Amino acid sequence: FDLPQNSFVELEIYDISGRKVRTVVNKNMEAGSHQVVWDGYDEVGNQAASGVYFYRIQAGKFAAVNKMLLMK
């Protein structure tokens, strides 16, 4: 993702039921291009099951939700 200016970024992953699986990013980030890789583990270190997940990213006033597929 690209940030046009320095922003506080929060990126969270949710399962198909809407339960939060993990917060992947929760910090201030500098303007520019960034890449985030989810290792497939939840907040307590359990490996997530294969399936459909949603990620929610919020940076400043911008927010979006998109679908992704985890395949092991």
Residue 72 pLDDT exceeds 90? no
Of 38, 42, 44, which is closest to residue 69 (Cα–Cα)? Answer: 38
**Angle, alpha carbons 9-67-23 (nearest 5°):** 35
The answer to whether residues 13 and 38 touch, using CB atoms and an 8 Å cutoff, is yes
**Residues 28-51 pLDDT 10s:** 999 999 999 999 999 999 999 999
Confidence (pTM)? 0.91
Domains belonging to the chain, first-starting first, are: 2-70 (2.60.40.4070)
Phi, psi (5° rounding) for residue 11? -125, 120
What is the Cα gyration radius of the chain?
A: 13
